[in-house]
Amino acid sequence: MTEIVELKKVCSQVRRDIVRMVHGCQSGHPGGSLGCVEFLVSLYFNIMKHNNKFNMEGEQEDLFFLSNGHISPVFYSVLARSGYFPIDELKTFRQIDSRLQGHPTTHEKLPGVRVASGSLGQGLSVAIGSAITKTLNSDIHTVYCLCGDGELQEGQIWEAIMYAGSKKVNNLILAVDVNRQQICGSTEDILSLGDLTTKFTAFGWKVLEVTNGNNIESVLNALNTTQKLKSNGQPVCILLNTEMGYGVDYMMGSHKWHGIAPNDEQLQKALDQLEETLGDY
């Protein structure tokens, strides 16, 4: 268990990593990455019982699956800062011969990644499979999955939501990053998601809503609450209301920074807002 003050330091450093990585290769997805920092830092530095000496089978530990693979910068930074691979490797993000591909993959054997993601809508199914295997193996640990809210427009996700609810997969926690933005605009304008609480509830899930998913205390509270809810025989969904681009003022409040990189001047402006707490790579 890491203290809140320490977690906040990690968050600030992870945000610096994200903007520097995306700036370094002049591509990637900073917006969603910045919005999910508190969630991933909470999972890896506080909630999950996990082993940074990675092995693919992941037995007797909690597992995490990133379904919206385009937010790889936050995933890679958190994995590196948790000791899965050298922090210095972050500088190879999206470069040729790197293990840090644009979207996460097992293909280059990057420690911490258990399935490729990027083509949207697939991660929850994989997480369900992993959760079933844990049950078959009498492994009492939990499987976590994160997907984007725009990603809920994919049909496969609803097949998976229906399955987990109907078959009562109760060692599974899904977080939905509700930032209400996607590449072409707001989710409301592109294809409205409707009332997600009602939808998940109707599919047999227990739903928790975090009003401010960029407040680390709120995120930790929700994740701790899920531990108590799991025994109810239902999968649990956390609707995590976040702000795309959180922590960098000019990236917030718009879909514009979903998938573009800052220039040199913009990078400096971002770094000025983010304290270097653990040392840049």
Residues that bind another protein (CB under 8 A): 56-59, 63, 65, 105-107, 114-119, 121-134, 136-137, 139, 155-156, 159-160, 162-163, 166
Give the nearest distance from C-beta 33 to another protein in angstroms: 20
Give the nearest distance from C-beta 231 to another protein in angstroms: 21
Smaller CB distance to another protein: residue 35 or 69? Answer: 69
Q: How far apart are CA 82 and CA 245, in angstroms?
A: 22
Q: How far apart are CA 111 and CA 229, in angstroms?
A: 30
H helices present in the chain, as ranges: 4-25, 30-35, 37-42, 72-81, 123-136, 155-166, 187-191, 196-202, 216-229, 264-271
Give the nearest distance from C-beta 181 to another protein in angstroms: 24
Give the nearest distance from C-beta 136 to another protein in angstroms: 7
Give the nearest distance from C-beta 88 to another protein in angstroms: 26
* Cα angle: 185, vertex 190, 195; to 5 degrees: 110
Q: How far apart are CA 32 and CA 70, in angstroms?
A: 8
Smaller CB distance to another protein: residue 121 or 262? Answer: 121
Smaller CB distance to another protein: residue 116 or 196? Answer: 116
Torsion of CA 43, 49, 52, 58, to 10 degrees: -110
Smaller CB distance to another protein: residue 24 or 121? Answer: 121
Contact 215, 65 (CB under 8 A): no
Smaller CB distance to another protein: residue 50 or 134? Answer: 134
Q: How far apart are CA 188 and CA 211, in angstroms?
A: 18
- Which amino acid is present at 23? H
Smaller CB distance to another protein: residue 118 or 185? Answer: 118
Give the nearest distance from C-beta 106 to another protein in angstroms: 5
Contact 74, 33 (CB under 8 A): yes
